[in-house]
Structure 1
Amino acid sequence: MDVHEDDRDGSSSFGLADVLAIVTVVWYAAVWSISVLGCVTGRKRYRLRPRSPLSSAEPSRVPGVSIIRPLKGLDTNLFENLESTFTQDYPNFEVLLCVADAEDQALSVVRSLIEKYPHVDARAVVGEEVVGVNPKVNNLMRAYKEAKNDILWVLDSNVFVESGVCARSVDALLGPNTTPNQPPSSKRRIGLVHHVPFAFGSEKGWGSRVDEAFLNTNHAKMYMAINAVALESCVVGKSNMFRRTDIERLHGNRGKPTPHPASDSVTETGLASFGRYLAEDNMIGEALWHELGLRHELSCDVAGNVIGNVPLSGYIERRVRWIRVRKRMVMAATIVEPFQECIMLSIVASWSLQHLFGIPAWLVLLIHYPAWIWVDLDVYESLAGHPLPSERRLDFFMAWGVRELLAFPIWLSGIFGEEVHWRGRKYRMLNNGEVELVEDSAPRSHWSNILPGRRRKHGYSALNQNDDSGS
């Protein structure tokens, strides 16, 4: 009688394919849970933005805020972006506009705004203090030291904010412990308030459209979900508010035990200690979280990220750069990143569900894609405050599709490489997220160079590109 031994006791063979299928289905459910959480968070947090009582308070009764904007060149929409900080509905603030070079073209815009709003306490801060390889940190240092107030609000030059953002952000930073007639909160004190980026594509370049579709859907969805769970620091530095007294206590050591003050290993503290990183915003968030035990708060406002005329190659280059930066900070999360993207996830999930339950792959895909797009559009609607306009839907869906198709090749290009180009300079990624400046006399070679629309020559960035500006 030809019967296998494991058939006699009623069991069946269980192989590697079954294990992979089970793991994939669990992962698929987890990614969908995170996506739905981001969607729900967007609905709850961003569809109602009440006016803060601080907006109408006496100046002496609210904490002062120093708004710092690092500038370089004439970014897209620069006048309107900077003007949005002059028109904040908050009774006690100053504006510091930083440029590293006295010949910087942004100074003409700065002078125009200072002349237009003489009642606003605003001034230009010219000249950098070199504390590391990060030009944005170097540009910020003088304003950071000269600011009159302890609360600092740092915004990139390509960011536009509504008039009530400052007051609501201060509300969030102060937290419930400072609200009269309320019992003390058991939660950790808030050390940083940040804002989810929401892109406005002012031009028709393919890179602009793809970046807009990415930032306003998948990126925002995951960003809101991760911050809703709040198991770890996750900060994008487009618009961050924190206290200088907290920053001054940081060593920028990514959660490692702070060295003893008498130790020779102690170097810089405060903002200067982050000059060795390229992603200083994320590192500051991590340091506040781990070194000081402070939590973050995602405001109910967005940081309007105004995108200029970016070619598709420019978008690809930026995404490759930040994958290479991120893999040195959170390697595990970067490795699994392709399997949380729409297309790759649908492929492995359809195979797994068919293998385990016999569900046809076409049926899984037929449900997966409309549901995914619906969630992304709902996130867009929450952040924008209105549905996607009908006249823009075809264009938006095309950009969304291009973004999804490019996700895996961009990840492959980013994961295999250590050098990045940013603001006309070449850097090599080191361990722990640090970088070193590399002399770059030879022209770059990158697979995105085959794409049309290259606007970069001899290592210098063209103006009006969304290149994480602010330095």
Structure 2
Amino acid sequence: MAVDNNLPAEEASTTSTIIAGVSITWYLFLWSISLLGWRVARTRYSSKPRSPLTSASPSDVPGVSILRPLKGLDCNMFENLESTCLQQYPKFEILFCVAEETDQALTVVEELLQKYPEIDAKVIVGEETVGPNPKVNNLMRAYKGAKYDILWVLDSNVLVDPGTLARAVDALQTPPRPGKRPIGLVHHVPFAHVRERSFGSRVEGAFLNTNHAKMYIALNVLAFDSCVTGKSSMYRRSDIERVNADLKAKPLPPLDEPARAVGSRKGYGMAAFGKFMAEDNMIGMAIWHELGLRHDLSCDIAENAIGRMTFMDYVWRRVRWIRVRKKMVLAATVLEPFTESVIAGLLAAWAVRYFVGLPMWLFLLTHFSIWFIMDLDVQTALAGQPIPRSEQWQFFLAWWTRELCALPIWAVAIVGSTVIWRGRTYKVLANGEAMKVDGETRKGRRDNYEPLSQGP
């Protein structure tokens, strides 16, 4: 019987052809997503229309409670908090939340309240411990005591434009188009404002303002699923009171059902998210999956003031959130390296050489040049101005560092489950839940959660 000695070579050729074809297909798909994010960044953020709500009567607009959780002194803190006092909206209150009376943030808040005595604002001191997430614990009393149903939660290191609140309320109240679900959450693209020109800060800015921004925008435009970074999020407390973070669809309440008191339904409301490390993303997913409400990005950014960061600060920050995402969306996290310019470019360069013989170096030179130009343009669109000529070289170096380090950082993150967050060590559990591993209970043993505060 004759033996076909060419069979192994034919099988190898077929396998190479399939891999090359998949690589090209994936590369084109990735570029289509990137171009979508770039195009929307160029169009949506190029102008900010004035909302009619800015000049409306207080009786004609819904009130908004602005919740700002604080801990310690953040970079640019006075200006960040002041930006909420300057909102061009006729009816809002500001609740500054601190866990302890000795918190240094209180000195900044007191100075702010003296400067703007006409603003409806107050400080809420004390936390309710409903889980290991310190931000949720800090927010609980303000969440329960807020005057209005619409809540706008803003991190302490975020600065916003004076028209942001009005435009966000416009988006939240947008009537649904035929076949579309109503809006349940409005959020904003995080944009790094590098205040301290350290190398780690520049790398963080090069990440947030380019690849992260364009993918964040594109995924929210496509709206396959919830994708929320909670630097700035607006939603209704009445909706949060209907979810419990199990991500299972909830039936609509009967029209004649009386409204429940805030926090009266055990296991529901803000307290349900205290066990998660990324409570912002889980709130978005709960609103999306449990209530069937979609999200919207307004045309504003959440300007994130970045202080002095070393390069290792940047590395461990990225490691922390990759480990959280790994427990929440494993498939997307495993796929993440293939969405980066280096791996996607190398695979496509090999595939093009395989099919048409084009040198890999020539393809990669073109690939990285166009990728960088697009990222630079996204940065410019969101900032509203180009990078100063004196800082362009530093941006270029930071961008390349970010791109080349993405895979090694991912590799470190993917093999671990512990993270350091606000000086404490946590283990990330299934679905993004967190267990504090460096704290001790009063009995001297480690525990997952601290007891729920009994205070009001």
TM-score (norm 2): 0.90
Q: Which residue of 1 aligns with 2:256?
A: none
Q: Which amino acid counterpart does residue 358 of structure 1 have in structure 2?
A: G
1:236-256 Cα shifts (integer Å, max 9, x gaps): 000000000000000111x23
Q: Which residue of 1 aligns with 2:447?
A: none
Change in 2 beyond 3 A, CA 1:318/1:12: closer
3-state secondary structure, aligned to 2:242: coil
Q: Which residue of 1 aligns with 2:369?
A: 370
Q: Which residue of 2 aligns with 1:210?
A: 203
3-state secondary structure, aligned to 1:55: helix
Q: Which amino acid counterpart does residue 219 of structure 2 have in structure 1?
A: I
Where in structure 1 are there 5+ consecutive unaligned residues? Answer: 178-183, 442-471
Residues of 2 paired with 1:108 and 1:428: CA distance? 33
Q: Which residue of 1 aligns with 2:78?
A: 79
Q: Which amino acid counterpart does residue 127 of structure 1 have in structure 2?
A: G
3-state secondary structure, aligned to 1:296: strand
Q: Which residue of 1 aligns with 2:131?
A: 132
Between Structure 1 and Structure 2, how many residues are aligned? Answer: 426
3-state secondary structure, aligned to 2:300: strand
Residues of 2 paired with 1:400 and 1:196: CA distance? 19
Residues of 1 paired with 2:267 and 2:280: CA distance? 17
1:119-178 Cα shifts (integer Å, max 9, x gaps): 10000000000111100000000000110000000000000001000000000000135x
1:394-450 Cα shifts (integer Å, max 9, x gaps): 010011111111111100010000100100111111111111110279xxxxxxxxx
Residues of 2 paired with 1:279 and 1:338: CA distance? 21
Q: Which amino acid counterpart does residue 334 of structure 1 have in structure 2?
A: T
Note if contact 1:343-1:404 (Cα within 8 Å) is conserved in structure 2.
Answer: yes
Which range moved further: 35-44 or 342-351?
342-351
Which range moved further: 407-416 or 14-23?
14-23
Q: Which residue of 1 aligns with 2:286?
A: 287
Residues of 2 paired with 1:327 and 1:141: CA distance? 27
Q: Which residue of 1 aligns with 2:406?
A: 407
Note if contact 1:176-1:185 (Cα within 8 Å) is conserved in structure 2.
Answer: no
Q: Which residue of 1 aligns with 2:248?
A: 256
Q: Which residue of 1 aligns with 2:425?
A: 426
Residues of 1 paired with 2:283 and 2:149: CA distance? 16
Q: Which residue of 1 aligns with 2:31?
A: 32
Per-residue deviation, 1:357: 2.5
3-state secondary structure, aligned to 2:229: coil
Note if contact 1:251-1:258 (Cα within 8 Å) is conserved in structure 2.
Answer: no
Residues of 2 paired with 1:118 and 1:359: CA distance? 68
Q: Which amino acid counterpart does residue 37 of structure 1 have in structure 2?
A: L
Note if contact 1:160-1:305 (Cα within 8 Å) is conserved in structure 2.
Answer: yes
1:227 paired with 2:226, answer no
Q: Which amino acid counterpart does residue 170 of structure 2 have in structure 1?
A: D
Residues of 2 paired with 1:208 and 1:366: CA distance? 27
Residues of 2 paired with 1:114 and 1:326: CA distance? 38
Note if contact 1:68-1:155 (Cα within 8 Å) is conserved in structure 2.
Answer: yes
Q: Which amino acid counterpart does residue 128 of structure 1 have in structure 2?
A: E
Change in 2 beyond 3 A, CA 1:164/1:362: same
Note if contact 1:52-1:168 (Cα within 8 Å) is conserved in structure 2.
Answer: yes
1:258-281 Cα shifts (integer Å, max 9, x gaps): 59x9xxxx9510110000100000
Q: Which residue of 1 aligns with 2:448?
A: none
Q: Which amino acid counterpart does residue 380 of structure 2 have in structure 1?
A: E
Q: Which residue of 2 aligns with 1:15?
A: 14
Q: Which amino acid counterpart does residue 60 of structure 2 have in structure 1?
A: R
Note if contact 2:250-2:291 (Cα within 8 Å) is conserved in structure 1.
Answer: no
1:343 paired with 2:342, answer yes
3-state secondary structure, aligned to 2:328: coil
Which range moved further: 384-393 or 242-251?
384-393
Residues of 2 paired with 1:409 and 1:5: CA distance? 41
Residues of 1 paired with 2:343 and 2:266: CA distance? 44
Q: Which residue of 2 aligns with 1:236?
A: 229
Per-residue deviation, 1:356: 2.3
Q: Which residue of 1 aligns with 2:297?
A: 298
Q: Which amino acid counterpart does residue 248 of structure 2 have in structure 1?
A: K
Q: Which amino acid counterpart does residue 179 of structure 2 have in structure 1?
A: S
Per-residue deviation, 1:18: 1.8
3-state secondary structure, aligned to 2:292: coil
Q: Which amino acid counterpart does residue 206 of structure 2 have in structure 1?
A: A
3-state secondary structure, aligned to 1:310: coil
Note if contact 2:249-2:289 (Cα within 8 Å) is conserved in structure 1.
Answer: no
From 184, 191, 203, the counterpart of 1:198: 191
- Identity value in percent: 57
Residues of 2 paired with 1:185 and 1:73: CA distance? 47
Residues of 2 paired with 1:310 and 1:251: CA distance? 36
Q: Which amino acid counterpart does residue 256 of structure 1 have in structure 2?
A: K
Note if contact 2:69-2:156 (Cα within 8 Å) is conserved in structure 1.
Answer: yes
Per-residue deviation, 1:13: 7.1
3-state secondary structure, aligned to 1:299: strand
